Amino acid sequence: MLPWDPPTDAGQAFAAQVRATSLGKLVRDDVLGMILRGEIQAGQRINEPDVASRLGVSRVPVREALRELESSGLVEARKHSGVFVRRLSAEEVRGLYELRALLDGFAGRRSAQLPPPDRTALAEALDSSVGRMEHAARSRNVSAYYSENLRFHWIMVEATGNGALAETYRNIVQKLHLSRLTNLSHGMGMAASVVDHREIAAAVRAGDAARCEQLVAEHVERAHQRLAAAQELPQED
């Protein structure tokens, strides 16, 4: 599963999985999907009875799911008020982007250090991703561009074969997604970002680990700056 692409349907998909895993996990994935798709927005209260009724479960697994989402930093419980999707502060967004730059840079370095056959296959996948980003940018399809942008970086994260890195990266991307959702109506520097991604893919193909790490880290920092400017923060891909 991609880090920004949780289950999209609470109906048949939910029923099909219910025997294979815990109800709490299934409810968590369903609520997470609603949050990441923007169906429940930052600052909005999550209605426990509605979630339980829609999925045909009691409120016990719903509460279990919300506790797990709270521990991951995506929602917050307010005394006597309920559970709300979090709004990230400028400081938190900045810290998450700094950590993301480190992880993305590491993934870029490791990607460029792969054995030649694996590296070439990865470079081909990255080039294809850049092509889809270019198409989305030309058509001004910001949502499609954003998803493909994330896919590009996730391909490199997966190429490291480091499960701990992938899990940490997923959590960071999901938190930052709360902030990004409010800015998808903006172009967010798509043309310049496409150039960045093409240079990163070329560095992977060339096996230039140091340059790839630097390009990716700088790209993430510029992305943070663009988002911060769009949000009118003092300073955020």
**How confident is the prediction along the chain (237 residues), in pLDDT tens digits per residue?**
444 554 445 445 545 555 445 788 899 999 998 988 888 888 999 999 999 999 999 999 999 999 999 998 899 999 989 999 999 888 999 999 999 999 999 999 999 999 999 999 999 999 999 999 999 999 988 888 988 999 999 999 999 999 999 999 999 999 998 877 655 555 568 888 999 999 999 999 999 999 999 999 999 999 898 888 776 644 445
The CA distance from 73 to 171, in Å, is 9
The predicted structure's pLDDT at residue 188: 61
Provide the 8-state DSSP code for 42.
T
Burial of 234 (0-12, 13-18, 19+ CB in 10 A): exposed
- Of the candidates 199, 223, 224, the one whose C-alpha atom is nearest the C-alpha of residue 213 is 199
Residue with tokens 């949000």: 231
CB 145 within 8 A of CB 41: no
* Count of beta carbons in the 10 Å neighbourhood of residue 21: 10
Phi, psi at 114, each rounded to 5°: -65, 155
CATH architecture of the domain with range 90-230? Up-down Bundle (1.20)
The predicted structure's pLDDT at residue 237: 54
Over the range 27-58, which residues count as b (16 or more CB within 10 Å of their CB) and which as e?
Answer: bbbbbbbbbbebebebeeebebeebbeebebe
The CA distance from 195 to 59, in Å, is 48
pTM above 0.75, yes or no: yes
Q: What DSSP line would sit under 168-211, residue for residue?
A: HHHHHHHHHHHHHGGGTTS-TTHHHHHHHHHHHHHHHHHT-HHH
What is the SS3 assignment for 76? strand
Q: Which two tokens stand for residue 112?
A: 């460029």
The predicted structure's pLDDT at residue 92: 93
The predicted structure's pLDDT at residue 173: 92
The CA distance from 178 to 34, in Å, is 11
The predicted structure's pLDDT at residue 19: 47
CATH tag for 12-85 (out of 3.30.420.40, 3.40.50.2300, 1.10.10.10, 3.30.200.20): 1.10.10.10
The predicted structure's pLDDT at residue 123: 98
Q: Domain boundaries in the chain? A: 12-85, 90-230
The predicted structure's pLDDT at residue 227: 81
- Of the candidates 197, 98, 107, 216, the one whose C-alpha atom is nearest the C-alpha of residue 146 is 197
What is the SS3 assignment for 216? helix
